[in-house]
Amino acid sequence: MISFKKKGNRPLHRGILLTLFLLSACATVPLTERKSLHLIPDSELLSLSFQQYAEVLKKSKLSNDPVKVQMVKRVGERIARASEEFLRKSKLQSDIKNYKWESNLIEDDKVVNAWCMPGGKVAVYTGILPLTQDDTGLAVVMGHEVAHAMAKHGNERMSEGLLVQLGGVGLSVALAQKPAQTQQIFMAAYGVGAQVGFMLPYSRLHESEADRIGLVLMAKAGYDPREAVPFWQRMNEKGGSRPPEFLSTHPAPETRIKDIKSHIPEALKYYYKGN
């Protein structure tokens, strides 16, 4: 039996309690099975997500090009169905109720960006369409972004942000005490506002996980995952000069393409099975 009554043991007591709390807040990323930190309840994050998504759409100009809009809706619906099937197969069917799928195309040719908030709230900017070129290229992007949401990378980044910047307070407390800063952390966590390179806010680890999961999602949706390679080659050409990989929060283009190629055989199993 260990006693924490003595004054000198209080730091140890707090340390053990903090460790137990962090362990209890761990979740498992589907497919990769990595343990990740999720301090924010889904219900709180979903409420903020739906609110912020509506605000972004209100302030943005939505595309009125029927061909482009229908492409985004069409690909979004197929990725959504594949995602729910993937969650069921991963024994995460309880998460499906949290998704209120919606995909919108924002008219801004200068922004090469796309993102997905919790609950399946997706935005694609017209600036990325010259690089996606067609439905399959768009499926690479949307599959990748939905993979971020499915893996709850945003929750992980929000949790880290609340710990580091706001001392680990709960989301509801942070919103009440420091609403502007908390909303800024949220928007940064989900890549809203990034001008070029739609994966800008995520770490190399998150990017690699989203690449792998995204390939499976697009394959399950009926899109050839091998087309991810030429898309990333086009992204590489668009990016111009880049810093060395160890200075970047993202995989170097050559590394990313190499890793994607290594995951294609896994994704093809889902593609061939569905076709």
On the 0-12 / 13-18 / 19+ scale of CB atoms within 10 A, 275 is exposed
Query: What secondary structure letter does DSSP report for 196?
Result: B
Q: How confident is the model at residue 13 (pLDDT cuts 50, 70, 90)?
A: very low
What percentage of residues in the chain have a pLDDT greater than 70? 70
**Looking at the whole model, is its pTM more than 0.85?**
no
Q: Which residues are catalytic?
A: 145
Task: Output the pLDDT for position 191.
Answer: 59
48 inside domain: yes
Residue 267 lies in a domain: yes
What is the CB-side half-sphere exposure of residue 33 using CA atoms within 13 A?
2
- At 18, is the secondary structure helix, strand, or coil? helix
Cα(267)–Cα(258) distance, integer angstroms = 15
Residue 12 lies in a domain: no
User: Is the pLDDT higher at 134 or at 168?
Assistant: 134
Asked if the structure places residue 6 within a domain, the reply is no
Q: Is residue 142 part of a domain?
A: yes
CB within 8 Å of 272: residues ≥ 6 apart: none
Q: What's the CA angle centered on 35, arms 79 and 202, to 5 degrees?
A: 55
Residue 238 within a domain: yes
- Tell me the CB-side half-sphere exposure of residue 135, using CA atoms within 13 A: 16
pLDDT for res 115: 92
The more confident residue out of 135 and 12 is: 135
Contact 5, 17 (CB under 8 A): no
* pLDDT tens column, 30-48: 888 888 777 778 888 898 8
* Lookup: tokens for 100: 């209120």
In sequence order, the 6+-apart residues with CB closer than 8 A to the CB of 88 are 96
Residue 177: name the closest of 188, 191, 167 by CA.
167
Quick one: average pLDDT of 213-235? 96
Counting the structural domains of the chain, the total is 1
User: What region, left, alpha or beta, does residue 154 occupy, with left being phi > 0 and alpha being psi -120 to 50 degrees?
Assistant: alpha
pLDDT of 158 over the 60 cut: yes
108 near 87, Cβ under 8 Å? Answer: no
Within a domain: 14:
no
Is pLDDT of 100 > 80? yes
Q: For strand 114-117 and strand 26-28, is the pairing parallel, antiparallel, or unpaired?
A: unpaired
Asked if residue 2 belongs to a domain, the reply is: no
- Which residue range(s) make up the domain with 249? 27-274
Q: CB of 193 within 8 A of CB of 59?
A: no
